[in-house]
Structure 1
């Protein structure tokens, strides 16, 4: 009985040993045990916890690190982590470098900047916030995204503006589309400009040009609006032009009977080669005659 009991324990111990050898954790445990003496001999060097994170993880952790610089707006100041701003903006990177005066300051004045706009801007740059772009805030943040060269945010803003122009399309007034074009030109937003030009090209000439601000649009963009309108209207006309069925039948008859010009056939009696469906032209031209 005692022998069976010992054998049972021996077999159990052997199986446990084999399972531990297979376990991924066993190698780690062995290494930890073997390093106990080394750790007792050598002091463990302290490391910055953020150094153990990937760059993406550092961004996720950034809202919880020490805020180390104040941004001053008149009599009000807000505190931010300058390393986060350096990571997303070459302008902030230069501002906080040792070669600039701001680099050695704990507070940086930002004269001329509106605090409410800058707070929104910072929230979109800082991980951990889920604020959504809206028509109310996007136009305030675009100048800041451009000035501080935060390219990712600027692209997000452009995508939002493009979606807005496409979704509203011809309901956008001439006055508003001119402002959109001027904004796209100022901040060099090519996709936004392209979609705005498309909307402007569908406005009637008097409706679009009556605003004094139209003259502020660059000559290049004015030409693009004109050429797009011209090209699109030509497409409408060309689609409405069809070869006359009477002309086709007349040509077939000439081939069958061997007629040709100069041998008894009269050109004046020939039907017109092309017919134009004026109704179709008018129907398709409607969207290019927006008066709003």
Structure 2
């Protein structure tokens, strides 16, 4: 029976690096019409749709070019675990596009940011913003600080905005007590202050309206 798995899932676990190169070249000679590129991770090969990959990540497209301006059919990825690369591809490639969850999103973020996968970053941003809205009140101040730093690091604006709204509701002393609070940028700290002031003014205006409409009687 023919292998009907998508190309990103055809992973060869038993090949050495030399075998991967030799086998890949033979495969290309026999299947020149198939637009694939081989990602080599931890001595294993992953065959990926070249057009889709390059559309999602301009960095991979640049990595495919040699010093002579020609395109390589292999891209060796160093310092990454195969499992993490596969998860990244599953949440990035349009032909697969698995949903993100609380477990995989934080593992995917570093690669999505490094390889400039904007669509993947947008999906992660939306997911994390929605997630923190749902569990925000159950987070400690230190957890909120950690999430703010993550949002800043990967430039996730919706996620950061939601984190700032939560932080503005916490006592300043509890945030200041967190050891990593100093790492938050001054811009974000200022946004937290503005949000807090705005909330205080809203409460003051409501109290003033209540006092005017329902004056205390002696």
TM range (shorter): 0.7 to 0.9
Shift of 1:130: 5.3
- Specify whether residues 195 and 236 from structure 1 end up closer, same or farther in structure 2 by C-alpha distance, changes over 3 A only: same
Structure 1 consecutive aligned stretches of length 4 or more whose deviation exceeds 4 Å: 61-65, 98-102
Shift of 1:102: 8.3
Alignment partner of 1:225 is 2:200: no
Alignment partner of 1:190 is 2:157: yes
Matched residue, 1:263: none
Matched residue, 2:54: 86
> Using the alignment, how far apart are the partners of 1:83 and 1:111 within structure 2?
22
Matched residue, 1:207: 174
8 Å Cα contact 1:86-1:96 kept in structure 2: no
Q: Match for 1:71 among 39, 42, 46?
A: 39
TM-score w.r.t. length of structure 2: 0.75
Q: Which has the higher helix share?
A: 1
Shift of 1:196: 0.5
Matched residue, 2:128: 161
TM-score w.r.t. length of structure 1: 0.57
What residue ranges of structure 2 are gaps of 5+ in the alignment? 1-5, 10-32
> Using the alignment, how far apart are the partners of 2:36 and 2:195 within structure 1?
52
> Using the alignment, how far apart are the partners of 1:101 and 1:73 within structure 2?
23
> Using the alignment, how far apart are the partners of 2:202 and 2:80 within structure 1?
49
8 Å Cα contact 1:94-1:100 kept in structure 2: no
Deviations 1:68-98 (A, max 9, x none): 4332223333232333311222112222235
Q: Match for 1:131 among 94, 98, 115?
A: 98
Alignment partner of 1:243 is 2:212: yes
Aligned pair count reads 186
Shift of 1:156: 0.9
Shift of 1:222: 1.1
> Using the alignment, how far apart are the partners of 1:192 and 1:244 within structure 2?
39
Matched residue, 2:115: 148
What residue ranges of structure 1 are gaps of 5+ in the alignment? 1-60, 247-274, 276-292
Aligned to 2:180, the other structure's residue is in SS state helix
8 Å Cα contact 1:95-1:102 kept in structure 2: no
Over aligned residues, Cα RMSD in angstroms? 2.6
